[in-house]
Structure 1
Amino acid sequence: MRFEWFIASRYLRSRRKQSFISIISIISIGGVALGVATVILVSAILDGVEQGLKDRFLANEAHVVLRLHDTSFFGDYQKRISQIETIDEVVAVSPVVLSQSAVFQERSNAIQDVIYIKGIDPVQEDRVTDFSKFVDGSTELQNSPYIESARLIRDETITGGIVLGGRLAARLGVIKGDVLRLIVNLAKHPVNESMLIPDLANFVVVGFYESELAVYDNNFGFIDLAAAQKMYNKKNRVNTIFVRLTDAELAPRIARQIEDKVQFSVLEGMPDARTWMEMQAPLFSALRLEKIATVIIEALIILVASFNIASTLIMTVMEKTKDVGTLRTLGASRGNVMRLFMIQGSVIGMLGTLFGTVLGLVLCWLLSYNADRPSYWYAVVLVVPIFLQVLIALRHLIPRRKGWMFAISFLWLAAIGFALYCAVTPISLADLGLSQVYQMNQLPIQVNWFFVVFINILSFLICWLATLYPAWQAANLKPVEALQHE
């Protein structure tokens, strides 16, 4: 062992007059650990939220959406689908009719709400999105028992079935089996032209769409593709084509290929292939900006902790001035002295970074691990007595018996681990009333291992830089003046 490492390790230990410095060293290690753990945890939460929203959107939306610039209907869509399917990265294609319609309420003879209508082929839609996975009820939009029952009971034409967003259904006050009247068109009254007569299409509610994505659950209704074409008098025509790819990240490149591959006539206009990234760009850009800002702010904790390291070393230099003079007199160079104090500060930074990484990863695991936990009162009852016992042991046993130090330290860490296991549980956004804001019921956690390595390197580098000035100050002490220092 080089003598710099030996002396640095002695300075880090608690010995009589230097015990105060060692306590400050422990506080410095704790500060670095807290900063690193906080950055890792916050980053994992933000990454989890971003990935959770991304997965939620991709389960409900296509990777690429093809339509005309003016969103008009176009014919011969089967030919266009065949052209798109020739692209290697394309997994599935689904024709869709997207529109808006007003819900008519007979009791008040007025419009109750305006909703989005999505005309789909359930089989093809399931290949592009996870439509059936989110439906509570029937996905049979033409042959559901609810439809047959309504046709027998009611003396009116039933166009088909409709799957309503769960929150939309609650807002409209409808249940499965109820008939929903959609306004297709408004015609002038033959006698009084100032009055408008609604042209209605009747749909039976056959299920509820529960995607936990507010934009769909609050606003959308799903009907059969043929029924949508009939309702809008657009037989064999659609206005949108949904495309799913082998990898959602390929969407920008494939979108350009689709625009080149699919040809429309001059009368129809130019195609517009939009990716899921473009449609959700404002949301994900805001999340990335929030992540950058938050990580920068949290990284300041590590910077503040590094000031503790610098102050610890400065106090050590002041306390060990005579030792430095003795070392210089015995032949130690300025480089030897500088390395001595840099090693001391680097060890503090390394231990703080290591403990912080372990703590951060443990907290991430606890926040993502769903299991029944003991009450946190068990932790309180267990930790307090053991903590007191450890304090007593640290005072009376450790100076004489190092074996006891490791044994009691292990018990202390086990007690802290059990306390964390009891107290740190997955966070329910639904209980906090934030499920609609973040589009998910539980706070997601996703550890980015590249970022963990990066923050470890950054933390150690900041701590190492904090050692330079105190170490340089110690190296420049004059031996004679140092020996005369009181």
Structure 2
Amino acid sequence: MFKLPVELLLGTRYIRAKRRNGFISFISMSSMIGIALGVMALITVMSIMNGFQHELRERILGMTAHMTVSDRPSYLGDWQATRELALAHPQVMGAAPNIQEQAMLSHRDRVQGVMVRGVLPEMETYVANIEQILTLGSWDRLIAGEFGVIIGRDLAINLGVAVGDQITLLAPQGAVTPVGVVPRVKRVTVTGVFNAGMYEYDSGVVYMHLDDASVLFRYRDGAVSGLQLKVADMFRVFQVRRDFASMSGENFFIRDWTQQHANFFKAIQLEKRMMFIVLALIIMVAAFNIVSTMVMVVTDKQKDIAVLRTLGATPASIQAIFIIQGLIIGIIGATLGLILGVLLSLNIDVIVPFIENLFGFEFFPADVYYISQVPSKLLWSDVWSVSLLAFGLTLIATLYPAWRASRIQPAEALRYE
């Protein structure tokens, strides 16, 4: 018949405290709860940071392409030939020209600065998801010569306009007059409204037809600001850049999404690392509470240890008993925290709105943060990393008390018995 090792039986037995050492049991329970809370908080925060990184990347790349090619910063001459060359690469899924210029929009007494993007509607859908986030109007209503514009939801609210209204666009490329440079003024019609879910885009980006933008901003000979590319694997943009440079044989100015938005993603990655370190300290404090617990257990069990030694137990067996006892506390706490952390991470989209409605406030106001909702993306690699961290800290915390227990001499422990 299979029998459990004596060390495992005794280590498990010592966790169930008797009445006289209930205080030790209370400290053990406190350590267990502390580890559980630390693991739960760390898994939840890591999932939220992963969610922010994923949402930010998806929303930014939903509005912009993965790469931008130009002859020099913000200028490209023969974009048709460059497009054919780019589409020859197997990783390039779409290519579209665009014009990007800053301008001012005014309606009645309201004025706001915007970024105007001149696009070809039939090509832009291959590199961006703007058509999918259009809430009012139609993408096909961007027709050359009609000077229609598609604006963000927050921009429409700030200016107080709706689909069909006319607004005034002021371009800095103006005419030189005796009184100075006069900005070009053009009445444009709102033909659609989009909602990207990011305040920066929803309040500051305007789309219009490429030909209209070329006329308004005085781009000559069919030139554009650049050619936008969408690749099959966004994480292979460096390889595509290198291949495109070798294919073209020219010194194109190429910027990819990792360069254009590097500050956002580096900031999130740094915050994720710092939050991991800070919350790992919670687990560390709870794990090292086990040290004090185990030291008191060793002191309380000196007579038992002495009896075991006289019956033939080796110092290694004594060490194993107390290491097992500490590990059981840590494993139970880590398992409980893992379960709670996973459940909380998977249901954060329900819990956060409930709290916001209950107390009447927003965690992330849309006019302050790029993302106004609390996203969550659970990665099992993070779950296992946190679990291994909790297990490792618990194991380290048991080593000294276990070593101290193995050094107890039976004769000294039983001297006054």
What TM-score does the superposition give when structure 2 sets the normalisation length? 0.91
Distance 1:336 1:6 in 2: 12
8 A Cα contact 2:200 2:370, kept in partner: no
Unaligned runs of 5+ in 1: 145-157, 265-269, 373-422
Q: What whole-Å deviation, never above 9, does each CA across 1:130-150 have from its counterpart, x for those lacking one?
A: 111222222234459xxxxxx
CA shift for structure 1 position 315: 0.6
1:117 matches 2:105: no
Match of 1:101 in 2: 103
CA shift for structure 1 position 431: 3.3
Distance 1:437 1:26 in 2: 42
Match of 1:225 in 2: 210
Distance 1:283 1:233 in 2: 31
1:293 matches 2:270: no
- Write out aligned runs for 1:112-191 (5 A): 112-135=111-134, 136-142=136-142, 159-184=146-171, 185-189=173-177
8 A Cα contact 2:364 2:372, kept in partner: no
- Write out aligned runs for 1:32-71 (5 A): 32-71=35-74
The alpha-carbon distance between structure 1 residues 424 and 367, as it changes in their structure 2 partners (threshold 3 A), is farther
Match of 1:475 in 2: 406
1:337 matches 2:318: yes
Equivalent residue for 1:82, pick from 49, 72, 84: 84
Distance 1:428 1:276 in 2: 38
Distance 2:355 2:186 in 1: 53
1:271 matches 2:273: no
Distance 1:474 1:40 in 2: 35
Match of 2:11 in 1: 8
- Write out aligned runs for 1:376-415 (5 A): none
CA shift for structure 1 position 70: 3.5
Distance 1:201 1:29 in 2: 68
Read off the aligned partner of 1:102 and give its amino acid letter. Answer: M
8 A Cα contact 2:106 2:159, kept in partner: no
Distance 2:148 2:285 in 1: 62
Read off the aligned partner of 1:464 and give its amino acid letter. Answer: L
Distance 1:27 1:438 in 2: 37
Read off the aligned partner of 2:328 and give its amino acid letter. Answer: V
Distance 1:140 1:359 in 2: 48
Equivalent residue for 1:19, pick from 17, 22, 29: 22
Distance 1:54 1:142 in 2: 27
Distance 2:13 2:352 in 1: 45
Distance 2:384 2:355 in 1: 24
8 A Cα contact 2:142 2:191, kept in partner: no
Which structure: larger Rg? 1
8 A Cα contact 1:41 1:363, kept in partner: yes
Name the SS for the 1:470 alignment partner. Answer: helix
- Write out aligned runs for 1:299-310 (5 A): 299-310=280-291
CA shift for structure 1 position 173: 3.2
Name the SS for the 1:435 alignment partner. Answer: coil
Distance 2:181 2:53 in 1: 47
Distance 1:351 1:257 in 2: 53
8 A Cα contact 2:36 2:335, kept in partner: yes
The alpha-carbon distance between structure 1 residues 142 and 321, as it changes in their structure 2 partners (threshold 3 A), is closer
State the superposition RMSD in angstroms: 2.6
Unaligned runs of 5+ in 2: none
CA shift for structure 1 position 168: 2.3
Distance 1:31 1:161 in 2: 60
CA shift for structure 1 position 181: 2.8
What TM-score does the superposition give when structure 1 sets the normalisation length? 0.79
8 A Cα contact 2:44 2:341, kept in partner: yes
The alpha-carbon distance between structure 1 residues 425 and 319, as it changes in their structure 2 partners (threshold 3 A), is farther
- Write out aligned runs for 1:363-442 (5 A): 363-369=344-350, 431-432=362-363, 434-442=365-373
Match of 1:153 in 2: none
Distance 2:97 2:371 in 1: 29
Match of 1:459 in 2: 390
CA shift for structure 1 position 430: 8.2
Q: What whole-Å deviation, never above 9, does each CA across 1:80-139 have from its counterpart, x for those lacking one?
A: 11100010011111111111223467x78xx94432211111121111111112222222
Distance 1:428 1:209 in 2: 30
- Write out aligned runs for 1:312-351 (5 A): 312-351=293-332
Distance 1:26 1:447 in 2: 28
Q: Percent identity?
A: 29
Match of 1:445 in 2: 376
CA shift for structure 1 position 448: 1.4
The alpha-carbon distance between structure 1 residues 301 and 443, as it changes in their structure 2 partners (threshold 3 A), is same
CA shift for structure 1 position 65: 1.0
CA shift for structure 1 position 210: 1.5
Read off the aligned partner of 2:21 and give its amino acid letter. Answer: Q
Match of 2:239 in 1: 253
CA shift for structure 1 position 235: 4.4
8 A Cα contact 1:370 1:426, kept in partner: no
The alpha-carbon distance between structure 1 residues 119 and 38, as it changes in their structure 2 partners (threshold 3 A), is same
Match of 1:210 in 2: 195
